[in-house]
Amino acid sequence: DGGITQSPKYLFRKEGQNVTLSCEQNLNHDAMYWYRQDPGQGLRLIYYSQIVNDFQKGDIAEGYSVSREKKESFPLTVTSAQKNPTAFYLCASSTGSSYNSPLHFGNGTRLTVT
Amino acid sequence: SQQGEEDPQALSIQEGENATMNCSYKTSINNLQWYRQNSGRGLVHLILIRSNEREKHSGRLRVTLDTSKKSSSLLITASRAADTASYFCATPHGNNRLAFGKGNQVVVIP
């Protein structure tokens, strides 16, 4: 079955450590996205990539970094510079622009930093 | 700031009843999307309605779009316990971005 796989489902880290969240898709989608979701809130865009080897900052990119070396992979690194990293992180992909193409989401990674 | 805002924020209904939720937005759009999120899971796309459409159906879901009022509604008919979830509207915002509302939590009581 085609889809998006995020791993791990739960992740715990100590403050000051960088951590990388995995996102892999086998849908052959060009565009991929990272969102952050806080309790009772909507989704906020961290980074997005419309094509391999290219990515743009979203609304809350500070303290995060990404890479897009392969079409199917879009890992997100949460650095120690991110002040409030504890959140639910969602990866998504689409065939084209999210303007008019439905997003396909993974099941998220819940990151807890203490 | 988020463009889409859902109303009401939380809704509790009996199984079999209809559930209606609304979404308002501020700027002109060419389409609007609705998503569902079950607890602890990713979002699932439900419907995309274009600005030249007034109503769209998908199974027990009915979405309307009123561009003059900058609002959309999602109706779930004959609700089931499995419809318990949060529902988000999303509108195009800026460059290749979607702005999501805060979500509307629906609880269907068996």
Interchain proximity A43–B88, CB inside 8 Å:
yes
Q: Give chain A's radius of gyration (CA, Å).
A: 13
The answer to whether residue A8 scores a pLDDT higher than 90 is yes
pLDDT band at A7 (very low <50, low <70, confident <90, very high): very high
Each residue of B35-86: pLDDT tens digit?
999 999 999 999 999 999 999 999 999 999 999 999 999 999 999 999 999 9
CA distance A113 to A90: 17
Q: Give chain B's radius of gyration (CA, Å).
A: 13
CA distance A89 to A63: 14
The answer to whether residue A30 scores a pLDDT higher than 70 is yes
Q: Which of A6, A103, A107, A109 to mutate to test the interface with B (most CBs of B within 10 A)?
A: A103
Interchain proximity A105–B44, CB inside 8 Å:
yes
CA distance B104 to B21: 7
Interchain proximity B98–A98, CB inside 8 Å:
yes
pLDDT band at B7 (very low <50, low <70, confident <90, very high): low
CA distance A37 to A85: 11
Of A20-29, A68-77, A86-95, B1-10, give the lowest mean pLDDT range.
B1-10
User: 3-state DSSP call for residue B36?
Assistant: strand
Give the start-end residues of each E strand in chain B.
Answer: 5-7, 10-14, 19-24, 31-37, 43-50, 55-58, 61-66, 71-76, 85-92, 98-100, 104-109
> Cα–Cα distances in Å, from B47 out to A40, B26, B61?
22, 20, 9
**What is the per-residue pLDDT for B1?**
29
* Residue A42 at interface with chain B, using a CB cutoff of 8 Å: yes
